[in-house]
Chain A
Amino acid sequence: MGVPIESSPPPGWEREGIDSLLGMFPPGRLSEIVGPRSSGASSLLLALIARITTSGSGEGGGQVAFVDGMDALDPASTAAAGADLSALLWVRCGGRLRVALSAADLLARCPGFALVVLDLDELGPVPPSAYIRLQRAVEGTPTTLIVRSERHREGTPASLVLATRRLAPRWMGLRPLTRLAGLRSEISISRSRLHPLSPLGRGQGEGSWTLDWTLSQ
């Protein structure tokens, strides 16, 4: 078994890279983050939530609504990522797809949220009409709407689709291993109707980022 051995956190994290990635999500549009388990999709979401909830210069940052289809959000990870939990509205849907879609629709139509996240994970299939309804709900508003699911479904009106892919876990220590240090994943643009990095405008591999996510202790 080829296990990479690391004695210090890797230097793979580039602030500039993640900043440009997080700045891609267009307001007033539906975006998707798709990827299988342990591919870094949830970590990307938490980084975005942290960025938005701490964006203000005063007491409050932007407000984020998180519709949690599978009750999977870990507030400890969210806080460790730097998010302001008081600026986060957490709606737990208990694995009920229709409830999650209705909650996301209500929140997308409530002005003032900088970001509305619909975390579906394994829930589905979602009818395309639901995506269209969500897209219409945020059109012309400053709200960014992101749907996180395991796989992209053709026919959705998403303006930006980011696909996450697991590269390798990072372990620390010689044999035996001592602890899990993090995860390296690749994030690529699967579809973009807004950015010049679209596969139609650039090479397929040019719109991709390799990111190292570190496990907080």
Chain B
Amino acid sequence: MMRIACLLMTNEPAAHTTLLQVALAHSPRVEDAGGGCVYLDAAGLRSLFGDDATLADRLREAATAAGLAVRVGIAASRIGALAAARFGSGATVVEPGGDAAALATAPLALLTLSEALATRLSRWGLRTLGELAALPTAGLFERAGAEGVQAQRLARGEDPRPLASWRPEPAFEESVDCEWGLETLEPVVERLGELAARLCGRLGARGLAADGFEWICRLAGGRAHEGALTPAVPLTEATAVTGLLRLALEARPPRGIVEGLTLRARPTRAAPAQESLTDPSRPSPRFLAATMNRLVALVGSDRIGAPALLDSHRPDAVGLGAYASPSPRRGEGRVRGSEVRGSEARGSGNAPVLALRRLRPPAPAAVTLASGRPVAMRSSRLAGRIVAGVGPWRSSGEWWTQQPWLQDEWDVELADGTLCRLAHDGSAWHIAGIYD
């Protein structure tokens, strides 16, 4: 026999989580209906709390003890329990089989109806659930469809849908006390590795990964050493997490004897390593995270990432976006607050494109002109007579900003066969790149 209890909060809607905790303390199956309303499965609780009336009183007392003012209703259906809670005396029990009678005088507004159906029922002059329940079902179906019949079933206290269980968000945090105190880094990393293994096990069991970790080292004397790291990709493997923690702690070790450790993980959904069977696999998140951290230490965080074209005609307007975390759809993405050009700039894949090798920064050059055309050049990278050349290709932009730019570009061939792009920015010549 189905028995549902409804806890309806009459104050402090912000304390909804507390209401859920009160319900969960009495029944393992709880549904969060939102708006200060919680349902719980009251079937089978007699041996624990006594009959329904006792359970209703107990629920109300528990809520009061938690600082909440609630009304409680118990019935055989959600809608019956809600009506009992809303229109009852404070702790109301509808006996089995009595839902329809209890609902008869309840207003139609108790149901969540579509606007069209609510308007139609109102035009028919229906005001209470009892009036809706009394309509012939076949005729109601012909006029209001399946939604009308479903509403009538609810009005009769027939609600076969099971509770949608609510579970509190798990806290991914592990702690350990170090009885003897840890003076060197190695045992600290070892303990953190044990905590990481526990956390990763819990994350993996829920199909989750962690995209951030925080640790707290409780030091002797009441001080604390805190830190956080964000891996390049969400992780579920303890060895990779331990490796990152080791790198972070080596860079900034705790200054004192460690008496306790806490490690927290920020859970997120793990992205699949391979989108489909026909696609090539991506780098392992475990190895990629460690490799990215080492590369950042090697070259700097501003020199590694996925290249992206900025939405500008300025020469060499490129940026670096995040690589692989999360994986953007092809040709889409944002780079440092700017829209990027991707798909429109990309070719068809069949074009045999001549590559330009950029010189960064552009190499200053001394250029000899004849009739306004460059005929020779000399720089630290290239020098020689110019045997062929086309230009100038003039471009300019951003004259409306503080950094306007203007550039005349020439494609030239040197006597040794080198093809390069010369540029004049209005004041000086430089080599922008070499075709290769």
Contacts and interface: CB of A to CB of B under 8 A. Distances in A.
Q: What interface size band does chain A fall in?
A: 35 or more
Interface in B273-325: 273, 275-276, 278-284, 287-288, 291, 294-295, 298-299, 303-309, 316, 318, 320-321, 323-324
A3 B419 CA distance: 14
B291 A106 contact: yes
A43 B353 contact: yes
Contact of B349 (A54, A59, A90): A54
Interface string A195-217: 00000000000000001111110
A89 B417 contact: no
A183 B287 contact: no
A59 B419 CA distance: 37
B291 A74 contact: no
Contact of B346 (A39, A74, A82, A107): A82
B354 A182 contact: yes
A46 B434 CA distance: 15
A63 B280 contact: yes
A59 B358 contact: no
Given A1-B387, A89-B304, A169-B419, A56 B357 contact: no
A58 B333 CA distance: 18
B353 A56 contact: no
Given A58-B278, A103-B299, A171-B388, A39 B306 contact: no
Interface string A48-69: 0011001111111111000000
Q: What interface size band does chain B fall in?
A: 35 or more
B278 A216 contact: no
A86 B436 contact: no
Nearest to A78: B307
Contacts of A182: 352, 354
Contacts of B420: 38
A152 interface: no
B349 A107 contact: no
A107 B291 contact: yes
A56 B298 contact: no
Interface string A109-122: 11111100000010
14 contacts: A18-B352, A42-B436, A58-B279, A60-B327, A63-B280, A72-B359, A79-B309, A85-B346, A111-B287, A169-B413, A213-B354, A213-B355, A215-B435, A216-B347
